[in-house]
């Protein structure tokens, strides 16, 4: 039992942050400021929370909606780049380890979101400060019906309507279960294995392929229509998939998640 350890989590109400809360709540003292209580883009506010006695800062605060970032570049830069920069600065001053999440969507810098996430990862340099964990990941799923706002959650809700569903079949991703991701992150923290990691569940699929896998798990027959010409505000990366083998197959993780949260 290590309730004397204090962990500060920004973005604790989101999909990833809320899963961290569930994972850590029994054994750690958690400090969970809302965005209104502490805007990480405001350095004075960050200083109020990162103080001596904090054992770890976890940054789950981010704007991940790609089209929203394209329409609101200033806000995207503030949250996705300036915020992490402020956290890193104060963590360095207070000698507190920082955990941050990047994205493999930044492989091609073709939209605002990709640029902001790329720049946030570039902030971390062991020559300046060594106590950090950065996890670059892709297409997260998890959190259940109320928290899963990403593709898997969207698809599961859409299947209930019975409506026509059109999906791309020319963009590749590695679906990543947040429970598996957090387990991996926590092992790195416990072993003090600081550094930058690219981590996701094994597998490389398109949205159309993933939808068919979900329908198969549910035992549903549903025809998904391919549309590779969606009109979108921001251009999309063609391949953000992850080649590392840190985690199990996405199919196993997806089946477990759907059975636990939806069936």
pLDDT band at 3 (very low <50, low <70, confident <90, very high): low
Q: How many angstroms from the chain centroid is the CA of residue 151? A: 13
- Residue 1: pLDDT over 60: no
Mean pLDDT of 91-110: 94
Q: Is 140 left (phi over 0), alpha (psi -120 to 50) or beta?
A: beta
CB-CB contact of 9 with 62 (8 Å): no
CB-CB contact of 208 with 167 (8 Å): yes
DSSP state letters, 184-228: HHHHHHHTT--EEEE---B--B-HHHHHHHHHHHHT---PPEE-S
- Residue 231: pLDDT over 70: yes
CB-CB contact of 175 with 210 (8 Å): yes
- Residue 135: pLDDT over 50: yes
Neighbours of 48 (CB within 10 A): 12
pLDDT in tens, 154-211: 999 999 888 999 999 999 999 999 999 999 999 999 999 999 999 999 999 999 999 9
DSSP H or E segment with residue 251: helix 250-261
**Could you give the percent of the chain with pLDDT greater than 70?**
99
pLDDT in tens, 54-93: 999 999 999 999 999 999 999 999 999 999 999 999 999 9
Q: Which domains, from first to last, does the chain contain?
A: 6-261 (3.40.50.720)
Predicted pLDDT at 125 = 94
- Residue 145: pLDDT over 90: no
């Amino acid at each position: 039992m290590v309730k004397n350890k204090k962990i500060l989590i920004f973005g604790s109400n989101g999909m990833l942050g809320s899963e961290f809360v569930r994972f850590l709540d029994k054994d750690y003292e958690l400090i969970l400021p809302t965005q209104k209580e502490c805007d990480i883009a405001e350095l004075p506010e960050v200083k109020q929370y990162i103080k001596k006695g904090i054992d770890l800062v976890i940054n789950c605060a981010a704007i991940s909606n790609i089209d929203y970032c394209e329409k609101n570049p200033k806000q995207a830069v503030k949250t996705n780049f300036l915020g992490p920069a402020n956290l890193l600065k104060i963590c360095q001053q207070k000698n507190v380890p920082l955990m941050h999440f990047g994205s493999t969507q930044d492989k091609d810098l073709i939209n605002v979101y990709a640029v902001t996430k790329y720049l946030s990862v570039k902030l971390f340099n062991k020559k300046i400060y060594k106590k950090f964990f950065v996890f670059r990941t892709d297409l997260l799923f998890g959190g259940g019906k109320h928290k899963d706002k990403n593709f898997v959650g969207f698809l599961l809700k859409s299947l209930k309507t019975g409506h026509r569903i059109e999906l791309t079949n020319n963009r590749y991703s590695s679906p990543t279960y947040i429970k598996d991701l957090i387990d991996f992150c926590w092992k790195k923290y416990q072993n003090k294995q600081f550094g930058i990691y690219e981590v996701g569940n094994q597998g490389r699929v398109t949205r159309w392929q993933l939808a068919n896998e979900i329908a198969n798990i549910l035992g549903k027959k549903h025809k998904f229509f391919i549309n590779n010409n969606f009109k979108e505000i921001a251009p999309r990366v063609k391949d953000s998939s992850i080649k590392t083998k840190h985690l199990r197959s996405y199919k196993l993780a997806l089946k477990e998640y759907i059975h636990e949260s939806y069936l």
